Structures are given as C-alpha cells and as structure tokens.
C-alpha cells in the first residue's frame, strides 16, 4: 500500500514541475537587444553628429513594454504604400464640395433666377465676400457676370458655364503649380516648409513625403521644429510609416543645425529630395527672419532650396492673409499649401492668398488622413465648388 502512496506522490510532483515550467515560459520577456532588433529601421543609417540624430540610429528608443509574443511572431514594421497622386483630388472632391457650405451652388441658384435684379446681384456679391474671395476679385466676377448674363435673363447664356469661366479666371489655371522637388548635379532638391504653429506644417511635411514616395522618389526629412519635441516625434512616425529617414535634433537644438545635417545626410544617402520642417514661431518678425534666414543660409551651403512652401490654415480666414504677409516679407515663398480646406466654408481664400502673395496654391489639405493632401488643380477645384 505504501508504494501506491509513493507513486501518487511522485506523479503529483512531476505534474507540478511541468506546470511551473510552462508558466515561466509564457512570461518570458525578450532581452533588450532582441527587442530593438524588431524595431530596426528599414534602410541603412549613418552615424549621427553631436546633438543631431537620424531616427532609428544608435540612440533610437528601446521598446519598454514587456513583449509577450515569441520572437518569431513579433510584428515587424510594415512600410505603407501611399495612395497614387492622380486619384486624390477625385477622391477628395466630395469633401471639398461639402465643406464649402454650398458657396458655388448658392451662386448658381441666384444666377438661375428668372430676373437678375439689384437685390440678386447684391446677394451674389455677399456670397463671394463671405467665401473670402476678396473685394477686388468679387467686383471683377460680378461685373463680368453682369455683362455676360443679361439682366432680364431672357437671352442669358448658361449660368453654370459662365460662372465656371469667371471663377476659373480668378483662380488662375495658368499658374505653374508643380512642386520643385528636384535638385541639380546629383544634389537633392530641398523643400523648406514654413508657417505658424498649428497650421499643419508637420502633418503636411509627412503627407508630402508620402506623395513623393508614391512617385518612387527617395526622401529624407529634417525635423527642424525643435521648439516642440512632440513635432519631432510626430515627424519620426510619419517617416517610419513609409520607410523615410528622419534627421532630428534634441529639443532646443538650433533648427539650422538640424536642417544642415538633414541636407548633408540627404546628399550622402543620394536621395532625390530633402524636406525640412521648421518651427516658425511668430513671436516677432525679427526673430522669425533671423531663424528662417539662418536655416535657409546653412542649407544653401550644400544645396539649393528649390521650394519654400508656406502652410496656411484655411479656417483662419483673414488672419491667414496677415500671416502670409509676414512670411512673404521674411522668406521667398514659392508655393502655398492650404490646409483644413475640408473644415472651411471659405474656399475663396485660394484666390485671396494667391493675389496677396503672387504665388500659386500648390497643394490643398482636405482631412487628417495620411493621404488627404492633393495637388491643387484649378479646374477640379471650381467644379467641386459648383457641385
């Protein structure tokens, strides 16, 4: 009988030992080296200069949370394929039309009245001014419409096509809206992105990199908005998603040194384009001029700045125009990016800001999605306004 108890005892001990092993294995965490391997950047990195690092380099943060899954099934970062540029404005057209509060369609309704009396012309003028088109273009449009659409309406041309012509004329389909992203003699093109904080600069830099990647171009990003640490992290995430390297500085680093290193790294890596995000605080004009002037000067020691994009939040209306004037005075703006057009009923700002600066709107932001930035096309824009 005793041997029976002995056998049961041994069996219980064996089961307990096996259960213990399994539990321990289930909780096993990976050593730090293994964990950082799973975050390895998709492309080769170079050694960072002091104060400035290429994201994913030796000082890249190590994942702190315990990893519960075995090494072989740990997720590796997947590089996204951004949306093709051509399909974007088509996809976003409904969003643009919907957000304009019927500005174009409202005009069309008024122009389709049987009699175009003075009250109607006044209402037309109000609609145009409320959409932020500006006084002079409003007068130009109304005058031309009056001439082309007979006041009594009996021999009027087709109001839709006449209005389309007039809106298109003020948006100006002849402006060269191509982004200058290519350099010469094997040196990358450099795109400098400026604008007030909150206008959507960092987001726009990320989105432009996706447009370029979709066109099979190689890109380096420079996170020179060292004023706000979160902006640097934000840009690093944008880069990671499409396999683009991000050169970053520690918080408070001189933005010009980050811009310099980004361009240097871009030249060494042989990329097509370097895009530099800036802080551009509007604390005072002199400070802004000093900062952006220095950033541009140090970049141009190595490569030409081929494009200076001013990012303007379309929802800020007249304020956006005031900002535009300040930036125009401190740096040679070559193109405008109008963001948040999806949340603004004031699409007329496109016309006003182009007139103010004499440079074209090249890109429009139409949402918070990663591919919600589209090259601006005058015809497609007017068509969207008219619904």
Ligand X SMILES: Nc1nc2c(ncn2[C@@H]2O[C@H](COP(=O)(O)OP(=O)(O)OP(=O)(O)O)[C@@H](O)[C@H]2O)c(=O)[nH]1
Give contact residues for ligand X (rule: CB under 6 A).
195, 197-203, 225, 228, 231, 339-340, 342-343, 365-368, 372
Least spacing, CB of residue 156 vs ligand X, in Å:
38
Least gap, CB of 228 to ligand X (angstroms): 5
Which one, of 380, 364, 383, lies nearest residue 372 by Cα? 364
* 110 vs 373, beta carbon nearer ligand X: 373
Whether 316 has a binding-site annotation, put simply, is: no
Q: Are 305 and 335 in contact (CB under 8 A)?
A: no
Instruction: Give min distance, CB of 94 to ligand X, in A.
Output: 15
Nearer to ligand X, 89 or 231 (CB): 231
Residue 16, CB-side half-sphere exposure with 13 Å CA sphere = 6
Cβ 207 to ligand X shortest distance, Å: 8
> Binding residue per annotation — 109?
no
Based on CB atoms, which residue is closest to ligand X, 225 or 307? 225
The residue among 180 and 316 lying less far from ligand X, judged by its C-beta, is: 316
* Sheet order of strands, 52-54 included: 52-54, 245-249, 219-224, 273-278, 189-194, 305-313, 335-339, 361-365, 373-375
Q: Is 34 annotated as a binding residue?
A: no
302 near 184, Cβ under 8 Å? no
Q: Which residues pair with 284 in a beta bridge?
A: none
Minimum distance from CB of 113 to ligand X (Å)?
35
- Does 200 show up as a binding residue in the annotation? yes
Q: Is 198 annotated as a binding residue?
A: yes
Q: Which of residues 293 and 369 has its CB atom nearest to ligand X in the complex?
A: 369
Nearest residue to ligand X, by Cβ distance, number only: 365
Cα 326–Cα 200–Cα 211 angle in degrees, nearest 5: 115
Token pair for residue 362?
A: 């090249």
The verdict on whether residue 264 carries a ligand-binding annotation is no
Report whether 202 contacts 224 (CB < 8 A). no
Positions at the binding site: 195-202, 277-281, 339-342
Positions at the binding site for GTP: 195-202, 277-281, 339-342
């Amino acid at each position: 009988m005793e041997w029976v108890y002995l056998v049961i005892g041994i069996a219980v001990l064996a089961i307990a030992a096996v259960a213990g092993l399994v539990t321990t294995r289930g909780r096993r965490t990976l050593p730090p080296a293994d964990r950082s391997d799973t975050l390895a950047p998709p492309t080769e990195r170079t050694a960072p200069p002091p104060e400035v690092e290429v994201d994913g380099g030796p000082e890249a943060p190590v994942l702190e949370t315990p990893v519960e899954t075995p090494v072989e099934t740990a997720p590796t970062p997947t590089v996204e394929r951004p949306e093709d540029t051509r399909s974007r404005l088509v996809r976003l057209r409904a969003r643009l039309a919907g957000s304009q509060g019927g500005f174009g369609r409202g005009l069309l309704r008024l122009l389709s009245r049987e009699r175009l009396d003075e009250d109607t012309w006044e209402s037309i003028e109000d609609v145009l001014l409320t959409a932020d088109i500006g006084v002079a273009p409003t007068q130009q449009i109304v005058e031309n419409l009056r001439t082309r659409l007979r006041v009594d309406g009996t021999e009027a041309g087709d109001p839709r096509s006449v209005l389309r012509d007039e809106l298109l004329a003020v948006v100006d389909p002849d402006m060269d809206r191509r982004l200058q992203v290519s350099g010469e003699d094997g040196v990358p093109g450099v795109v400098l992105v400026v604008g007030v904080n909150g206008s959507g600069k960092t987001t726009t830099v990320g989105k432009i990199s996706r447009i370029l990647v979709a066109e099979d171009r190689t890109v380096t990003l420079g996170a020179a908005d060292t004023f706000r640490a979160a902006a640097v992290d934000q840009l690093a995430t944008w880069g990671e998603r499409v396999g683009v390297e991000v050169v970053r500085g520690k918080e408070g680093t001189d933005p010009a040194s980050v811009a310099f290193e980004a361009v240097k790294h871009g030249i060494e890596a042989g990329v097509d384009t370097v895009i530099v995000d800036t802080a551009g605080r509007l604390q005072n004009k002199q400070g802004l001029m000093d900062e952006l002037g220095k950033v541009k000067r140090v970049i141009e020691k190595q490569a030409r700045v081929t494009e200076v994009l001013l990012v303007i939040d379309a929802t800020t209306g007249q304020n956006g125009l005031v900002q535009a004037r300040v930036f125009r005075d401190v740096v040679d703006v070559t193109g405008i990016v109008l963001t948040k057009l999806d949340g603004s009923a004031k699409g007329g700002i496109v016309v006003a800001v182009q007139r103010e600066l004499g440079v074209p709107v090249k890109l429009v932001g139409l949402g918070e999605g990663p591919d919600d930035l589209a090259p601006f096309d005058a015809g497609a824009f007017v068509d969207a306004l008219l619904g």
